[in-house]
Amino acid sequence: MPKMEKVYLHNPSAEEISLISISATTAHFHASFFQNRIIPPGGNTSFDVVFLARVVGNVENTLFINTSHHGVFTYQVFGVGIPNPYRLRPFIGARVPVNSSFSPLINIHNPHSEPLQVVEMYSSGGDLHLELPTGQQGGTHHLWEIPPFETKGVMRASFSSRDADNHTAFIRIKTNASNQDEFIILPVEVEVTSAPGIYSSIEMLDFGTLRSQDRPKQLNLHLLNSGAKDVQIMSVRATPSNDAITIDFKAVTLKAGEHRYTKVASISFDASKVQKASQSSGKITVKAKEKSYSKLEIPYLAEVLDGYLGFDHTVTLFHIRDSVLEPVVKPIHLTNTFHFAIRIHDVSLPDEAKTMFLVSNYFELYRVPEACCCRPTQSLQAFVPTQLKHSQLQSITNHGPQVLR
């Protein structure tokens, strides 16, 4: 999300100063044109600096203000990038062959307790276009409505070009939670090249946010051969070696002249095997038998949340008798072992269990109409299931569903 500040220039000399341009050496900062290119003696002018962080952490740079006869003036800028609450990331680092395409899916997370509606989404034009994930030409507003605390693919960015060059574009997103003049800006940077080689359909394997007790998440790796002869893929490995990464790969040959990407491997990330932060990121290295082709490296990334919602499993066991008895009522207590608060905003039953169980005393218990929170290491009576046979419950939190068996 961009942050804009206005910079004022003052000319204290007895001569007018003619301003030519402003330049920077990083893509994190962008400067507008001068309000007035000529500053008279004792006069002022201004320009805007936009900070669009592409990484989390401190970013600093120097702006160079070029003048006609007074040399170059420098201006230091500094900003701090923080994680995006919508879990959006810039699409940078993509490399594709000429006449091919780069089509990442735009997934948006809703961090609010109310549905999030995407009301506007524009591209800066040129070779970048927006398409519905389904491939349809149009749809209803429900396609762009994201339920509370869920992540949903709302649009696909499609970039294609016939010109070998470095291309930069932007996607502007506005939601019903945004202020009138507030937008989310996604940078898109693609290198289009005519060099023969092997290319990936995605610039990063993004496993998203995972909990340490989640099942392994799998992503597929698709490659394309832009060369004039067939190429055999010899190996697909994690660099450096990582116990959390499992790769399902068999030697495959990529045909020359193919315009479609071919599935080469399946990459699985097991959050339960993460013992240190460095295991959450790395590179997948692809090597071909053709020695003239350089190795291909695709970065991977995962955000691992260490913890779980604990409960007493014996409380979820019910003894079913043949005789008709009064319903059995048992309270469920949840213990939050995460290092942050958990908000429980729904407790649901599978359809096949609704004739056997009933969840009661959930919202009324906390007297919070939209949700309830469980602080780190704290235990709470979250809800009361009433037995009517056996099934499972599903607790929905702001970090995904948890099944209570």
Q: pLDDT at position 3, please?
A: 77
My answer on whether 69 and 117 are in the same domain is no
Count of beta carbons in the 10 Å neighbourhood of residue 257: 10
Number of domains in the chain: 4
Which domain does 342 fall in, by range? 309-404
My answer on whether 325 and 300 are in the same domain is no
My answer on whether 77 and 87 are in the same domain is no
DSSP labels, 8-30: EEE--SSS-EEEEEEE-SSTTEE
| Separation between Cα atoms, residue 72 and residue 68, nearest integer Å | 9
Q: What is the CATH number of the domain that holds 343?
A: 2.60.40
| Separation between Cα atoms, residue 190 and residue 168, nearest integer Å | 7
My answer on whether 65 and 129 are in the same domain is no
At residue 280, the 3 state secondary structure works out as helix
Q: pLDDT at position 285, please?
A: 96
Contact 246, 205 (CB under 8 A): no
My answer on whether 137 and 182 are in the same domain is yes
Task: Mark which of 195, 226, 251 sits at the end of a domain.
Answer: 195
Q: What is the CATH number of the domain that holds 233?
A: 2.60.40.10
My answer on whether 42 and 67 are in the same domain is yes
Q: Where are the beta strands (DSSP E) in 111-178?
A: 116-123, 128-131, 145-146, 151-160, 165-175
Joined tokens for residue 112: 């609010």
Task: Mark which of 168, 195, 222 sits at the end of a domain.
Answer: 195
Task: Mark which of 66, 81, 96 sits at the end of a domain.
Answer: 81
Q: Phi and psi dihedrals of 399, rounded to 5?
A: -120, 30
User: Mind listing the pLDDT tens digit of every residue in the chain (405 residues)?
Assistant: 667 788 898 988 888 888 888 877 777 787 777 778 888 999 998 888 878 777 778 888 888 888 888 888 888 889 898 878 888 888 888 898 988 888 999 999 998 888 999 988 888 877 888 888 876 666 677 888 999 888 999 999 988 878 888 888 888 899 988 776 678 888 888 889 888 889 999 999 999 999 988 999 999 999 999 888 899 999 999 999 999 999 999 989 999 878 889 999 999 999 999 999 999 999 999 998 887 787 899 999 999 998 888 888 888 777 766 665 677 777 877 788 888 777 777 777 888 877 777 777 654 433 333 345 555 554 455 444 554 444 444 554 556 655 555
My answer on whether 180 and 92 are in the same domain is yes
My answer on whether 340 and 396 are in the same domain is yes
Spatial CB neighbours of 141, under 8 Å, sequence gap ≥ 6 = 117
DSSP labels, 333-368: EEEE-SSS-EEEEEEE--GGGTTTEEEESSHHHHT-
Q: pLDDT at position 390, please?
A: 44
My answer on whether 74 and 110 are in the same domain is no
My answer on whether 281 and 239 are in the same domain is yes
My answer on whether 372 and 270 are in the same domain is no
What residues pair up with 8 in beta bridges, in sequence order?
46
My answer on whether 94 and 148 are in the same domain is yes
Contact 246, 219 (CB under 8 A): no
Q: pLDDT at position 264, please?
A: 95
Q: pLDDT at position 237, please?
A: 95
